[in-house]
């Protein structure tokens, strides 16, 4: 049931808007519904990240179907 993650996202959004609490910046929350566990791993900004690193090589949008190896540009919907 994806509701758990969607509600976590809504909660984080409200926290960002009102400026309260500790948002999940630099943390990845991992949820396993069969085991019913929440784990968390620390994330760090990668100074060598091609996008947000200190010397970025990606400075504009690219072709994302191609990036993902989808050679035939089939329309890709969003919506889970």
Partner 1 sequence: MAKTQQDFLVAARQEIPEVSVQEVQERGQPGDDFVLLDVRENDEVRAGYLDGAVAIPRGFLEFQVASKVPQTDKEIIVYCAGGARSLLAAQVLRSMGYENVSSMAGGVTRWKDAGFPVQRDRQLSAEQLERYSRHFLLSQIGEKGQGKLLDAKVLLVGAGGLGSPAALYLAAAGVGTLGLVDADVVDLSNLQRQVLHSNDRIGMPKTESGKIAINAINPDVNVQAHNMRLTTDNVLDLFAEYDIIVDGCDNFPTRYLVNDAAVLARKPVVHGSIFQFEGQASVFKPHEGPCYRCLFPTPPPPGLVPS
Residues 14-53 that bind partner 1 (CB under 8 A): 14, 16-21, 23-34, 43-46, 49-53
Side-chain-facing half-sphere of 62: CA atoms under 13 Å: 11
Indicate the length of the chain as a whole number: 80
Rounded least distance, CB 59 to partner 1, Å? 8
Rounded least distance, CB 55 to partner 1, Å? 14
User: What CA dihedral angle connects 42, 65, 9 and 36, to 10 degrees?
Assistant: -70
Q: Site residues (CB under 8 A) for partner 1? A: 1-14, 16-21, 23-34, 43-46, 49-53, 58-65, 67-70, 75-80
């Amino acid at each position: 049931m994806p509701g758990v993650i969607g509600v976590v996202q809504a909660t984080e959004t409200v926290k960002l808007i009102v400026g309260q609490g500790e948002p999940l910046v630099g943390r990845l929350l991992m949820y396993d519904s069969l085991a019913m566990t929440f784990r968390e791993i620390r994330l760090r900004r990668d100074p060598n990240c091609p996008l947000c690193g200190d010397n970025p090589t990606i400075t504009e949008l690219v072709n994302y179907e191609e990036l993902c190896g989808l050679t035939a540009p089939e329309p890709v919907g969003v919506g889970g």
